[in-house]
Structure 1
Amino acid sequence: MKRHKRMRVPVRLLGMSAAALSVAAATFTYTSTAGAAGVTEAAYRSPVSSSGTTKSVRYDLGDTAWHLPQTGEPAELTGVVHYPADLGTGRHPLILMMHGLHETCADRKADAARTAALRKGDDAAYEAAGAKLFAWPCAPGTPALPNERGYDYLARTLAGQGFVVVSIGGNGINASSVTGDDNAATRADLINRHLRLWQELSSEDKGELAGKFTDPETGAARRVSFAHHVDMGDVGIMGHSRAGAGVTWQAADSHRKQWPTGVDVKAVAALAPAYNVMTEDMSNYTITKTPFATFRGTCDGQVGGEALSFAADAAKEAGSGFYRFAIHGANHNSFNTQWSPESHQVAAADDATPVKGHPGQCTDREGAAPTRQLTEPQQRHVATTYLNAFFRRYLLGDTGQEPVLTGARHPDAAITEVDVTAVP
């Protein structure tokens, strides 16, 4: 019976890259030492300071404003923007983020019906309910699930550091028929479409985004002039889950010519990436010219450890820096607040595998070594620490972040262990 959720992908048959990394002369691997298991949320402060106040706006050009190049299926052009409240007179690096595969419509009745059908083993009812949850556009009266808002916590911190941060919606892709490499390619196409919008806006204050910003909460029109305040030659991209494969595809050496004119991607981060590990052409993912970082939690119940080895294969000839971070006790969904149980959102779930007889412990699969599971705030805190360090290093030239990126310093050691493999 088909399940409308992210599934663990099989180990790629093309070979693993751990050996390649272990023999690299410039490779350093460190493991942090966690503090007391009972550390509370109030017991630590973020090493990442927000240097200024931030604001946010939203743009929405419509649920069918874009069509997938491969199939013609409709998709939205929407994004939420976090930026420094005072844009000043200079230009700010742009960071574009994209969510991965998740339900698209916040239909609580369909969610309840799907759960009931699963208990009864009713395949037809399960499929019918799933079709409503993965529709696009959503049925009249049913709100779209705001998956792009799941990284607001990260975007606010980055905006406080001086970045303009855009988290884009990909619900149309999630509801589409594209799979495998085509899914990654489609996400890359959508990323480039948004970058083109921002290039037009930032250079001349013209184009489709001009005059289209609204308040994210009230919907009231907001006038913000980003013209000459966004540096499209200093761009970072981050993708979570299936979008982790999408950003790797977008930044691959073989696809750089598809970047909009005037856009230069200086850093790419894949967060718990769900790659097509059975791909027949690794050149579609190979990154050697752009600094590349990949992250995975040791309790990720959706994406296996092959995600890290796949990324290492993609970057094995990199000359611009490659980093792998294994966050102990982190699952897959809690990186996105909309997917996490504490949000009480439709289809939110904890994907970690619990350990029988050991409350608070988790693994990524049955029989694996357990570890203390992070709370949702703790997991996001650690992700923010390392993503901020990565983007500051490569978009702002802040070499003071090197000790964090190489594992020489572990600012979140009191929270959990982070295994760091760095090829500077």
Structure 2
Amino acid sequence: MKRHHRTGASARPLGLSAAVLAAAAAAFTYTAAPGAAAPSGATGQSASPSSGGTRTVRYDLGARAWHVPQTGEPGELAGVVHYPADLGTGRHPLIVMLHGLHDTCADRKAEAERAAAERDGDDAAYEAANAKLSAWPCAPGTPALPSSRGYDYLGRELAARGFVVVSVGANGINASSVTGDDNAAARADLINRHLRMWQQLSSRGKGELAGKFTDPATGAARHVGFAHHVDMGNVGVMGHSRAGAGATWQAADKHRGRWPKGVDVKAVAAVAPAYNVMTEDMTNYTITRTPFVALRGSCDGQVGGEALSFAADAARGNRSGFHRFAIPGANHNYFNTQWSPRSRQVGAFDDAMPVKGHPGQCTDREGGAPTRQLTEPRQRRAATTYLGAFFRRYLLGDTGQDQVLAGAR
């Protein structure tokens, strides 16, 4: 059965069990595995702050270019790429980012119909409207909701530090029937599909991405010389929400053999990850050979505190570097600008739970400890700080980030 849309009035955990949502730490929390070492394979010849600024292109191979492995349902192969304007002569680490569960089609009429149906308690009308908002491909004339653009702020900052960053679309998965561990596996497969295309482009200047880059604003063709300038042996992966589980699955020890030939994932980040906490086989998520970080806000109204404990279980025995951060006042949706109220996008909302009698404060559950809520810019600054430090540490070998990752700075 397809998921229901979650509004601020009826937020439910994304793919989690019925377990009580654990309280997030009221203050900053940090955990790290001992023995973390600098990456052994980072090259970083050109991966330094870009004095020439950054640029952005996109690619879209079609709404049916990929298919969900478990069901055959269609999915897109599309991404937005942020990169240093001057690629120089060396190779830059690649970071692949993936969004989680959200509406897929920006249908404002259907959004209004859904809100009215929820207000009136009309289940049939609610399901009819929701079907329009969670379809794939979208109906003719209805634009796809660009969740992949929700991390542009992070992509630009990382590109300025010398990374090539691609944020890929997963609307097809969101509209599909896959749930739980199958959903995580499908997202991992999609990540690997993009990595395979980038490996072909970087190594030979050929493959499906060759000649497919366009200007995001005008749609005009753009030629970018990525060939031999992307270090596919030095890759980072980031997933938000259900894609946090997908990124963990993709980087798990058990699934390393599925990485495309010539690709080596050296760092994985899970942002507000929504795991299947009832899984019977933790080996599908266990990461002991790859540096790993997990973030969650104390006002996350969609993913419970068990997200961080699950990540810790997945990283048990990891001596490559494990970090987890509980961010006071952060919610779930502000990490993605397209899901946040200031975007005025379809389906955008603040999922933090307000605290009666305490304006400006929030929690993640009834009776939870109140915390002053972060604004959208402040929450993204926190994400950029910790994710930037993590990727610079493990993809560039920048030990100057250790104090940030240790919570000392």
Q: TM-score, normalised by structure 2?
A: 0.91
Q: 1:136 to 1:280 in 2, by over 3 A?
A: same
User: What are the equivalent positions in structure 2 for 1:111-190 lying under 5 Å apart?
Assistant: 111-190=111-190
**3-state SS, counterpart of residue 57 of structure 1:** strand
**3-state SS, counterpart of residue 385 of structure 2:** helix
Q: Name the amino acid aligned to 1:242.
A: R
Q: 1:49 to 1:232 in 2, by over 3 A?
A: closer
Q: 1:379 to 1:52 in 2, by over 3 A?
A: farther
Q: Name the amino acid aligned to 1:10.
A: S
| 2:62 pairs with 1:62 | yes
**3-state SS, counterpart of residue 105 of structure 1:** coil
1:28-51 Cα shifts (integer Å, max 9, x gaps): 9xxxxxxxxxxxxxxxxxxx9875
Per the TM alignment, residue 225 of structure 1 is displaced from its structure 2 partner at its CA by 1.4
Q: 1:111 to 1:314 in 2, by over 3 A?
A: same
CA distance in 2, matches of 1:311, 1:93: 24
CA distance in 1, matches of 2:197, 2:144: 23
Per the TM alignment, residue 10 of structure 1 is displaced from its structure 2 partner at its CA by 2.7
**3-state SS, counterpart of residue 383 of structure 1:** helix
CA distance in 1, matches of 2:256, 2:49: 33
**3-state SS, counterpart of residue 392 of structure 1:** helix
Q: 1:226 to 1:126 in 2, by over 3 A?
A: same
2:42 corresponds to:
none
1:69-128 Cα shifts (integer Å, max 9, x gaps): 100000000000000000011100000000000000000000000000000000000000
User: What are the equivalent positions in structure 2 for 1:339-350 lying under 5 Å apart?
Assistant: 339-350=339-350
Q: Name the amino acid aligned to 2:407.
A: G
User: What are the equivalent positions in structure 2 for 1:204-243 lying under 5 Å apart?
Assistant: 204-243=204-243
**3-state SS, counterpart of residue 144 of structure 1:** coil
1:35 corresponds to:
none
The answer to whether the 8 A contact 1:52-1:161 is kept is: no
Could you tell me the percent identity over the aligned residues?
77
Q: Name the amino acid aligned to 1:376.
A: E
CA distance in 1, matches of 2:123, 2:19: 30
Per the TM alignment, residue 342 of structure 1 is displaced from its structure 2 partner at its CA by 0.2
2:17 paired residue among 10, 22, 45: 10
Per the TM alignment, residue 358 of structure 1 is displaced from its structure 2 partner at its CA by 1.1
Per the TM alignment, residue 7 of structure 1 is displaced from its structure 2 partner at its CA by 2.5
**3-state SS, counterpart of residue 178 of structure 2:** coil
Q: Name the amino acid aligned to 2:12.
A: M
1:267 corresponds to:
267
The answer to whether the 8 A contact 2:204-2:227 is kept is: yes
Per the TM alignment, residue 357 of structure 1 is displaced from its structure 2 partner at its CA by 1.2
Per the TM alignment, residue 218 of structure 1 is displaced from its structure 2 partner at its CA by 1.0
The answer to whether the 8 A contact 2:35-2:319 is kept is: no
CA distance in 1, matches of 2:399, 2:80: 29
2:393 corresponds to:
393
Q: 1:105 to 1:24 in 2, by over 3 A?
A: closer
1:295 corresponds to:
295
User: What are the equivalent positions in structure 2 for 1:19-418 lying under 5 Å apart?
Assistant: 26=34, 51-409=51-409
Q: 1:258 to 1:12 in 2, by over 3 A?
A: farther
2:39 corresponds to:
none
1:287-312 Cα shifts (integer Å, max 9, x gaps): 00000000000000000000000000
**3-state SS, counterpart of residue 311 of structure 2:** helix
Per the TM alignment, residue 27 of structure 1 is displaced from its structure 2 partner at its CA by 10
CA distance in 1, matches of 2:399, 2:75: 39
Q: Which runs of 4+ in 1 moved over 4 A?
A: 21-28, 48-52
The answer to whether the 8 A contact 2:57-2:213 is kept is: yes
Per the TM alignment, residue 217 of structure 1 is displaced from its structure 2 partner at its CA by 1.1
Q: C-alpha root-mean-square deviation of aligned residues, in Å? A: 2.2
**3-state SS, counterpart of residue 360 of structure 1:** strand
Q: 1:24 to 1:292 in 2, by over 3 A?
A: closer
Structure 1 gaps, min length 5? 29-47, 410-424
Per the TM alignment, residue 3 of structure 1 is displaced from its structure 2 partner at its CA by 2.8
